[in-house]
């Protein structure tokens, strides 16, 4: 029987998950929910099925087996908690929340329901990244150097607001903090420094256009951040991130291990030293993170690569970075 899948929050990134779901012949797309009802209606027209404005209507009327939740960072908590309470498995986009309180509340609901979950940290599913992890697992790691450079500010109105988007560390660079944990183990301490390097005030006559923004009225978040991380293993790490407009997206890692230097450029891996090689992530790699959850639910297992609890731990690293900044740049220890 087809898996019944519903969608909550059908803005920008949901498009990727809708399209990747459409590719599955064993999945039925049973409904779409968005507080902006016209967005849900557009999905209903395109993919088939009804549109809802409130997630409980989708849950009550369509009884999905799985929901794909792509709401903004501030709009998490009740949607996931209610899904777990009803025994609905869920996929949720990163970050899982903007506060540990919300994340822990949902984590407890999932643990008590025993449902399957997956967080949208898709890099972990790429074969190239798994290979990098396997190579590193056999060596002692000394340095985990990460960067995340975005050439401007994403257009959703919640992005430049700390209380809504959580800032770049929570919202975007979380990919690198999660991947650092995947490659090198748990982080025990974070020291942070942030800056607002640029004047984001729109000049007279500025037209935002499509794509990333160069200016924003009421920009609240830092545009440049540096972290120092200590890993449980004793390795050190750094994360550099910025959204100051320039030419290109650029994110990746250099990981120094005994005898090996591993470089990740996006999801492509290259390694040099006592072994040499390179691997690309494959054409469909960004879809695996969602398909794996569908496969797990169909197989009756909760075993997924990025269960909710992993998203909670990665959120804790981002928040520790901003906490360090609030405390004047002292190291903040993680539990």
Q: Contact region for ligand NAD (CB under 6 A) — 10-18, 60-68, 208-216, 248-256?
A: 10-18
Which residue in the block uniquely carries the two structure tokens 């590193």?
Answer: 136
Pick one of 122, 239, 243, 269: the residue that binds ligand NAD (CB under 6 A): 122
Whole-number Å distance between alpha carbons of 97 and 89? 18
Please name every residue paired with 58 in a beta bridge, in sequence order, or none if there are none.
none
Q: Is 118 helix (H, G, I), strand (E, B) or coil?
A: strand
Cβ(49)–Cβ(55) below 8 Å: no
Q: Tell me how crowded residue 245 is: count the other CB atoms within 10 A of its CB.
A: 16
Q: Which residue's CB is nearer to ligand NAD, number 176 or number 256? A: 176
- Comparing every residue's Cβ against ligand NAD, the nearest one is 11
Q: CB 260 → ligand NAD: shortest distance, Å?
A: 28
User: How far lies 194's CA from each of 145, 175, 221, 292, 329, in Å?
Assistant: 17, 18, 9, 36, 9
Q: Which residue's CB is nearer to ligand NAD, number 32 or number 271? A: 32
Q: For the chain, how far is it from start to end, CA to CA, in angstroms? A: 43
* Residue list 66-95, contact with ligand NAD (CB under 6 A): 70-73, 75, 93-94
Question: Token digits for 164?
Answer: 């809504």
Q: CB 120 → ligand NAD: shortest distance, Å?
A: 4
Q: CB 267 → ligand NAD: shortest distance, Å?
A: 11
Pick one of 5, 8, 153, 213: the residue that binds ligand NAD (CB under 6 A): 8
Binding flag, residue 13, ligand NAD (CB under 6 A): yes
Q: CB 27 → ligand NAD: shortest distance, Å?
A: 19
Q: What is the largest CA-CA distance in the chain?
A: 58
* Closest to 216 measured CA to CA, from 132, 160, 263: 160
Binding flag, residue 12, ligand NAD (CB under 6 A): yes
Binding flag, residue 259, ligand NAD (CB under 6 A): no
Q: CB 156 → ligand NAD: shortest distance, Å?
A: 4
Binding flag, residue 208, ligand NAD (CB under 6 A): no
User: How far lies 210's CA from each of 100, 153, 162, 213, 239, in Å?
Assistant: 33, 11, 23, 8, 28
| Beta carbons within 8 Å of 305's beta carbon, 6+ residues apart | 118, 124, 125, 289, 292
Q: CB 334 → ligand NAD: shortest distance, Å?
A: 22
Site string for ligand NAD, 166-195 (x = CB under 6 A): -----x------------------------
Name the DSSP class of 287: G
Name the DSSP class of 107: H
Q: CB 93 → ligand NAD: shortest distance, Å?
A: 3
Binding flag, residue 330, ligand NAD (CB under 6 A): no
Q: Is 115 helix (H, G, I), strand (E, B) or coil?
A: coil
Q: Is 33 helix (H, G, I), strand (E, B) or coil?
A: strand
Q: Is 225 helix (H, G, I), strand (E, B) or coil?
A: strand
Q: Which residue's CB is nearer to ligand NAD, number 8 or number 109? A: 8
Site string for ligand NAD, 19-58 (x = CB under 6 A): --------------xxxx--x---------------x---
Total residues at the site for ligand NAD (CB under 6 A)?
24
Q: Contact region for ligand NAD (CB under 6 A) — 12-20, 43-51, 131-139, 188-196?
A: 12-20
Binding site for ligand NAD (CB under 6 A): 8-14, 33-36, 39, 55, 70-73, 75, 93-94, 120, 122, 156, 171
């Amino acid at each position: 029987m087809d898996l019944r899948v519903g969608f909550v929050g059908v803005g920008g990134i949901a498009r990727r998950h809708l399209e990747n779901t459409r590719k599955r012949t064993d999945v039925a797309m049973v409904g779409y929910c968005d507080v902006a009802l016209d967005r849900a209606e557009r999905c209903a027209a395109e993919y088939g099925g009804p549109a809802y404005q409130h997630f409980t209507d989708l849950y009550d009327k369509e009884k999905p087996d799985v929901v794909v939740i792509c709401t903004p960072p501030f709009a998490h908590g009740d949607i996931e908690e209610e899904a777990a309470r009803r025994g609905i498995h869920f996929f949720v986009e990163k970050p899982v929340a903007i506060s540990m309180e919300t994340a822990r509340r949902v984590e407890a609901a999932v643990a008590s329901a025993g449902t399957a979950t997956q967080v949208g940290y898709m890099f972990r599913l790429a074969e190239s990244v798994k290979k990098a992890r396997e190579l590193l697992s056999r060596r002692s790691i000394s340095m985990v150097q990460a960067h995340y450079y975005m050439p401007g500010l994403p257009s959703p109105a919640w992005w430049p607001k700390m209380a809504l988007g959580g800032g770049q560390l929570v919202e975007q660079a979380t990919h690198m903090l999660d991947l650092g944990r995947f490659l090198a183990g748990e982080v025990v301490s974070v020291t942070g420094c942030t800056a607002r390097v640029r004047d984001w005030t729109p000049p007279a006559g500025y037209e935002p256009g499509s794509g990333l923004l160069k200016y924003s009225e009421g920009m609240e978040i830092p545009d440049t951040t540096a972290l120092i991380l200590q890993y449980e293993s004793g390795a050190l790490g750094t994360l550099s991130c910025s959204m100051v407009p320039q030419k290109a997206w650029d994110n990746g890692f250099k990981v120094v291990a005994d005898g090996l230097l591993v470089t990740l450029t996006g999801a492509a891996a290259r390694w040099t030293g006592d072994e040499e090689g390179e691997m690309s992530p494959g054409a469909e790699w960004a879809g695996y993170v969602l398909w794996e959850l569908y496969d797990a639910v169909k197989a009756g297992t909760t075993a997924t690569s990025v269960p909710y609890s992993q998203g909670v731990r990665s959120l804790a690293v981002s928040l520790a970075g901003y906490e360090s900044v609030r405390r004047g740049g002292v190291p903040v220890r993680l539990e």
